[in-house]
Amino acid sequence: MDCIFCKIVEGSIPSTKVFENDRVLAFQDIQPAAPVHILIIPKKHIPTMNDVADEDNELIGELFAVARQIAKEQGIAEAGYRLVNNVNSDGGQVVYHLHIHLLGGKKLGALLA
């Protein structure tokens, strides 16, 4: 499996973990774009949001639940934060293992378009 995030899940590539359970892993982004920049991923290899099946809906909900919990733990929930999922080339996706970016800790710039 030539997927960098699967290797992070396996532990063959190191990461700074923020949260882990049997289904979900969250870790610090290696090139943070904000004071808080954490990636939340399913341990299961799902390439993009386009590949999410109905059977994965609970898992996707859990990714957002973990994001909410981490935002609280990081102390940014009230000030605010942004959750981002890039899909494919036009969406700016670089790593083809589904992930949600949790960004915060500063006033974020306008992003739409």
* Contact between residue 63 and residue 56 where contact means Cβ atoms under 8 Å apart: no
CA distance 86 to 113: 13
Pick between residue 54 and residue 109 the one whose CB is nearest to ligand 5GP: 109
Cα separation of 62 and 36, whole Å? 20
Give the whole-angstrom CA distance, residue 89 versus residue 18. 28
d(C-alpha 53, C-alpha 35), whole Å:
33
Residue 45: active-site member: no
**Distance of closest approach, residue 58 Cβ to ligand 5GP, in angstroms:** 23
**Least Å from the CB of residue 61 to ligand 5GP:** 20
Rule CB under 5 A: which of 21-80 touch Zn ion? 45
> Of these, 49, 83, 95, 108, which contacts ligand 5GP (CB under 6 A)?
95
Q: Which partner from the list Zn ion, ligand 5GP, none does 43 bind, CB cut-off 5 to 8 Å by kind?
A: none
Among the listed residues 27, 66, 70, 71, the single contact to ligand 5GP using CB under 6 A: 27
